[in-house]
């Protein structure tokens, strides 16, 4: 527990001045944990995230706008690249899966059954795949 929020903020500001951004960031997060409306702490934290080019800068900017809608900050949002989503996989037919099972390729068959259950648009095929998978 912080004994005095203002003293902690002053320590964070000194750490920022000395370019000890990690310590300053930790102290500011402690301040904001106890006082969600501490505008100066958000401003300093925004500067830290801006120097680090962290995407957390965007959420701090929203908090600054919440506290003071008229605040003037040149904000350029940091975009985060999302992982590319692969398209739906190529699904094999249930008859081919039955052939895999008869040939002893059970791991490959189970994998394809799970793909059918997860990605097939045909409810009947999904039910058949669940039934086959349950019978393993």
What is the pLDDT confidence band of residue 60, given thresholds at 50, 70 and 90?
very high
What is the pLDDT confidence band of residue 67, given thresholds at 50, 70 and 90?
very high
Q: Where are the alpha helices (DSSP H) in the chain?
A: 5-17, 21-34, 39-52, 56-67, 94-102, 106-119, 123-134
pLDDT in tens, 33-46: 999 999 999 999 99
CA distance 62 to 108: 48
pLDDT in tens, 83-124: 776 677 788 888 999 899 999 999 999 999 999 999 888 899
At 48, list the tokens. Answer: 């830290």
Domain 5-67 has CATH 1.10.510.10: no
Domain ranges within the chain, ordered by starting residue: 5-67, 94-134
């Amino acid at each position: 527990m912080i004994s005095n929020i203002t003293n902690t903020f002053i320590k964070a500001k000194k750490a920022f001045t000395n370019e000890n951004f990690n310590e300053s960031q930790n102290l500011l997060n402690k301040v904001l944990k106890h006082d969600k409306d501490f505008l100066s702490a958000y401003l300093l934290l925004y500067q830290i995230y801006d120097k680090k080019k962290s995407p957390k800068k965007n959420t701090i900017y929203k908090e600054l706008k919440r506290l003071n809608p008229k605040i003037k900050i040149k904000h350029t949002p940091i975009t985060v690249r999302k992982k590319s989503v692969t398209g739906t996989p190529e699904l094999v037919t249930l008859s081919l899966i039955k052939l895999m099972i008869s040939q002893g390729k059970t791991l490959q068959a189970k994998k394809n059954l799970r793909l059918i259950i997860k990605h097939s648009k045909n409810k009947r095929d999904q039910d058949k795949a669940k039934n086959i998978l349950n019978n393993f």
